[in-house]
Amino acid sequence: MRDANEIVSTIYEALGEGNNAIKYYRIYKVYSDSLNNLASQRAVAIEKASYEFSKKELEFERKTLQQRWLIFSAFAALFSLAVVLWAINRNRNRLNHTNKDLQQKNALIETQKLKAEETLSKLQAAQAQLVQSEKMASLGELTAGIAHEIQNPLNFVNNFSEVNIEMIAELKDEIDKGNVEEVKAIANDIEANEQKINHHGKRADTIVKGMLLHSRSSSGIKESTDINALADEYLRLAYHGLRAKDKSFNAAMKTDFDNSIANINIIPQDIGRVILNLITNAFYAVSEKKKAPRTSEREVVYEPIVFVSTKKTGDSVFISVRDNGNGIPQKVLDKIFQPFFTTKPTGQGTGLGLSLSYDIVKAHAGQLKVETKEGQGAEFIIQLPII
């Protein structure tokens, strides 16, 4: 219709009918504007619809993305939960396994502890036997020396007893004669001899008591002891014991006792055993050096010497046993206090003497040290606190 009015207007314009041409042109414009408005409205509607669609589409995509994110988050949470549960379960299994292993190990430790206690008990029993064996071995070393020491006072007792028997017979004769002065003189001589008999009898009694003291188990009780007398006693006993086994052996015994030392509290049989062991070792060392052949005629004749001394310094007493033997090799010096270590030939040493001595001195809160020079001798020093 719009296009027809436009054609009619054009025809009237060509015919020169201006009024009709304008009339139909106006109709054409009306139709044209109407159509243009409809087109604009349709375009706007389409644009609006397109916008709404895009908006809906974006909203849908947003919701879809949100749903996907929620689903992903849920899966991630489930996965994390699964990992955590797996880790917890694995740790629980490991913990159970560890607890089981721990229980087994505890049971094993308990078993080993019982075995260790049993072994320790056996070792302590064996140690006690070894200590007793070492003690009896040292007592055996002393036997000859003890016999020699007892023999001397017994000889005096026997001799003075025989003299007294003769003098008593003389005394009876003088009594019968009425010789009062002679009776008094003989009685005085008998009394003097009895005092000597008593003195040497006590000396023998002291030796026997010392032997019994050395042989019996330690009481563990400290007693007030004359350390100088103890050292001198064991020096002579050890010397005579070695002389009884080897008549050819001879050695000079030198002493230097500090008379300012008062009695000290020690377990006498234990410290006596230490001193005896050190002195016996010293005599053995000089004996071995004495047996060694001379390397040349010009070599100075060796004179074995064992030197025993005591000294008080501050709150301690030092007992030294020194010899001029061959000394102790440096390579074994660190081992001499170890149990069962000995440089003596098989059968001549248990290897327990120095080890037990070290333990005894340590139990007295003291120290046992050694100083040595190869070829010149060794010195063992006992340090005991004055309590």
pLDDT of residue 21 exceeding 80 = no
Alpha-carbon distance of 383 to 319, in angstroms, equals: 7
Tell me, what's the pLDDT at 383?
96
The pair phi, psi for residue 144, each rounded to 5°, is: -65, -40
Alpha-carbon distance of 62 to 2, in angstroms, equals: 47
Per residue in 217-230, pLDDT (tens digit) is: 556 788 899 999 99
Q: Provide the 8-state DSSP code for 249.
A: -
Side-chain-facing half-sphere of 368: CA atoms under 13 Å: 21
Q: Write out the E strands in the chain.
A: 223-225, 252-256, 264-266, 305-313, 316-323, 367-373, 377-385
pLDDT of residue 255 exceeding 90 = yes
**For the chain, counts of helices (H) and of strands (E):** 6, 7
pLDDT of residue 174 exceeding 70 = yes
Q: Report yes or no: 282 and 304 within 8 Å, Cβ to Cβ.
A: no
Q: In this structure, which CATH number among 3.40.50.360, 3.30.565.10, 3.30.420.40, 3.40.640.10 belongs to the domain 220-387? A: 3.30.565.10
pTM flag (> 0.75): no
Give the number of other CB atoms < 10 A from CB of residue 200. 19
Tokens 């000396």 locate to 203
- State the Rg of the chain over Cα: 60
Per-residue pLDDT band at 94 (split at 50, 70, 90): confident
Per residue in 324-359, pLDDT (tens digit) is: 999 998 888 888 888 777 777 665 666 677 888 899
Of 10, 41, 14, 37, the C-alpha closest to 24 is 10
Alpha-carbon distance of 227 to 309, in angstroms, equals: 10
Alpha-carbon distance of 23 to 21, in angstroms, equals: 5
**Averaged pLDDT of the chain:** 80
What is the β-pairing status of strands 305-313 and 252-256?
parallel
Alpha-carbon distance of 184 to 190, in angstroms, equals: 10
Per residue in 33-52, pLDDT (tens digit) is: 666 665 565 665 566 656 66
Enumerate the domain spans of the chain: 220-387
Alpha-helical runs (H) found in 216-306: 227-245, 268-291
> Of the ranges 112-116, 122-126, 233-237, which one carries the lowest mean pLDDT score?
122-126
Q: How much of the chain is in helix, strand and coil states, percent to nearest 5? A: 70, 10, 20
